[in-house]
Structures are given as structure tokens and as C-alpha cells.
Amino acid sequence: MKKFLNDPVDFVDEMLEGIYRAHPQVTYAAGDKRCLVTANVKPGKVGIATGGGSGHLPLFLGYVGDGMLDGAAVGGVFQSPSAEQMYQVTKHIDQGAGVLYIYGNYSGDIINFDMAAELADLDGIQVKQVVGNDDVASSVVGEEHKRRGVAGIFFVYKAAGAAAAEGLSLDEVARIADKARLRTRTMGVALSSCVVPEIGHATFSIGEDEMEIGMGIHGEPGISRTKLAPADAVVDEMMARIFAEQDYKAGDSVAVLVNGLGGTPLEELYILFRRVGQLLDERSVTVKHVWIGEFATSMEMAGASISVTHLDEELDRLIGKPAGTPFFQHVPA
């Protein structure tokens, strides 16, 4: 295991110490460093909380900030935070307008967020939930509720965060988050494994010349394992699956996220985006927003994912709004 760490058991907590040292814009609730909240709670605003396992930076906590989220419960590497932690985050960020949970479709997270919502309800805090399930590879059409949540949750955060910043109600913010969720699809491809610090060896093995299309961000099995193909062919296959999911017409517009899983150089992500752009051009679909970089990683896994949100006017406008967190800045041109 080639990692900069001290005792693997302290991995998450020492990372958090570094984060609090570096970024006074975030702090923590209930004396628990794993209950990360904005230092700048906005009175009267609908709160948005997320949470999930560590090992995916900047996901999840990196999106806590202006125009995005208000809090994030932080779990161990690839492990759900506790319902108690989610509940503490909820209590801290609630401003009387209710709290929206946005997180990925993993059973550990669901069960804990459900329990946190129950606890919050006992305090009279209104909670709604939107569960990201953008990973096309993780289940077939018709069984979308079984799909995992991956990098596409970024667009759900972005749209919902902007809506909450505009002062919309919990119902409205939840409606918008849900629309962003329903219109977002992601396909991933992995080239190498990650290593969970407390485990110390690769989560899975993959040949020196192989890729796995559709692999999950914890190493969940994908759709096909084949020889590494040229970048354009990889994108063609991924985009074909994304296009097949929604009815894209000439003149439609999209937001695109080309996300690195951790070990893949930024140069390569731009080579992938070049082809994504060509394919969208061929369909006369306009790229209104694009982000390229590391947005939802899997430690040092080499690989990438492509997320596409099929925009309508409302999502276009909200995704374009400014945002500022310690890990993500958006300053509209």
C-alpha cells in the first residue's frame, strides 16, 4: 500500500483535521468532526445535507458551501456515517425551513438517513430525501431504483443548492433535486483498483491491459471487462449507453461532467471530453455547462466517468448559478 498516512485507523480523522485547518468556511456540529457543516448557515434557508463514506473527495463534504450544501455526515472509508451523525448535521443546519437529504443509493446510507429522518421528525424538523441513482451500468432500464449513485449527484447538488440559495421552499428544492436526478445519467470505466487504508491491498485485481466498463466507485462489478480500447472507442461505448436512456433531440442542451476517479491524469480527461463533445455535436446537442476534473473519486483508482444532465430551462439556469465551497468554485462568466 503506497499511501501517505500514519495509522490507517486515523485516516479519516486526520484528513478531517487537515480540512478544518485549511478551510475556516466549514466547521462541525455536536463536537463530532464527522458532522461537517458550513460555518455560514443562512437564516431561513432550506438546509441541504449529504453524507456517505470517505475516500471520494471532493465528494461528499467538498460540496458544503455557498450555493451548494449546508452539511455532510462523514463516514469511514467507503462506509456510511451513522444515523446519529446525520441527525446532528440535520439539527445544526435546520433553519426552520426544513432539510433536504441528497445522497447516493447505497443500502447502508439509505438505512441510516431514514433513521436520521425519523429522529429529526421527532424534533419537528421536516425532512425530504432525494437519492441519487445515476449509474446506468448498475441496473437495467425499469429497475432504476436499484442503480447506484455516482458522480452525477454533483448536478443534483448544484441545481438544488442554487434553488435553496434562491430561497425556495423545501418542496420546491426537493422537486428540483428530483428533476435533476431523473435527468442525469453516468457511465464509468475503471483501469485500476483503489486500496482501502484499513484493508491495505487492492480491492480487486485487473489485468495490465484491461478496463472494466461500468465498475462502481467502490469496485462494484461492472458490465464488461475487456482489453483497454482507444479513448474514442471507450467514450463511444459509454455515450451510447447514456444516449439510449433519454430522448435527445437536435437543439437540446446538456451539462457534462468528465470526472477522474483519482489516479487518471487531467490530460486524459480532456481527451475523453474531446470525443464527448464530438458526439454531442453530431446530434446537435449543445453543451451548456461542462466540468472536467476530479469530482467524485475512488481513492487512487485510475478511471473516469462521464455524467450528462439533460437540461431544461430551469436546470440550465440553476446549474449556471454561482457557487463557492473550499473544493469547488463556480463563477459564471
Q: Which residues of this chain interact with other proteins, rule CB under 8 A?
A: 75, 78-85, 106-108, 111-112, 114-115, 138, 146, 148, 199, 216, 218, 220-221
Whether the upstream peptide bond of residue 328 has omega within 30° of 0, thus cis, is no
**Residue from 215, 294, 310, 319 in contact with its own copies (CB under 8 A):** 294
Q: How many alpha carbons fall within 13 Å on the CB side of residue 112? A: 27
Closer by beta carbon to Mg ion, 175 or else 326 = 326
Closer CB to ligand ADP, 58 or 76, in the complex: 76
Q: Which listed residue (5, 9, 140, 244) binds its own copies by CB under 8 A?
A: 5
Nearer to its own copies, 6 or 107 (CB): 6
| 190 strand-pairing partners | 212, 303
The amino acid occupying position 160 is A
Residue 289 partner contact from other proteins, ligand ADP, its own copies, none using kind-dependent CB cut-offs of 5 to 8 Å:
none
Residue 192 lies near its own copies (rule: CB under 8 A): yes
How many Å apart are CA 264 and CA 205, to the nearest integer?
Answer: 17
Q: In the bound complex, what is the minimum distance in angstroms from residue 262's beta carbon to Mg ion?
A: 5
**Do 164 and 156 meet the contact criterion of CB atoms below 8 Å apart?**
no
Q: How far is CA 145 from CA 111, 152, 214, in A?
A: 15, 15, 17
Q: Which of 123, 199, 200, 274 binds its own copies (CB under 8 A)?
A: 274
Could you say whether residue 8 binds its own copies (CB under 8 A)? no
**C-alpha span between 73 and 191 (Å, rounded):** 29
Residues with Cβ within 8 Å of residue 221, at least 6 apart in sequence: 212, 215
Q: 107, 40, 138, 56: which is closest to 327 by C-alpha?
A: 56
Nearer of residues 78 and 248 to ligand ADP, judged by Cβ: 78
Grid cell in block for residue 161: 443548492
User: Nearest approach, Cβ of 10 to other proteins (angstroms)?
Assistant: 16
Binders of ligand ADP in range 100-119 (CB under 6 A)? 107-108
Exposure string for 142-160, b = 16+ CB within 10 A, e = fewer: eebeebbbbbbbbbbbbbb
The cell 463514506 sits on which residue?
A: 53
Q: How far is the CB of 199 from ligand ADP (least distance, A)?
A: 13
Which residues are CB-neighbours of 152 under 8 A, at least 6 positions away? 132, 134, 135, 184, 185, 186, 257, 307, 309
Residue reference for cell 425499469: 142
Rounded to an integer, what distance in angstroms lies between the CA atom of residue 292 and that of residue 183?
19
Residues 27, 30, 41, 57: which binds its own copies (CB under 8 A)?
57
Among 9, 22, 199, 244, binds its own copies (CB under 8 A): 22
Binding Mg ion by CB under 5 A: which of 262, 272, 306, 311? 262
Q: How far is the CB of 79 from ligand ADP (least distance, A)?
A: 7
Q: Give the SS3 label for residue 114.
A: helix
* Binding partner of 262, given ligand ADP, Mg ion, other proteins, none, CB within 5-8 angstroms per partner class: Mg ion
Catalytic residue (one of 23, 56, 92, 330): 56
230 touches its own copies (CB under 8 A): yes
Given the complex with other proteins, which of 79 and 325 has the nearer CB atom? 79
Q: Which of 218, 289, 310, 330 is catalytic?
A: 218
**Cα dihedral: 63, 42, 22, 83 (round 10):** -60
> Quick one: DSSP state of residue 56?
S
Residue 123 touches its own copies, criterion: CB under 8 A: no
Q: Does 205 bind ligand ADP (CB under 6 A)?
A: no
Please report whether residue 17 would count as binding its own copies according to CB under 8 A: yes
- Interface residues with ligand ADP (CB under 6 A)? 107-108
Active site positions, annotated: 56, 218
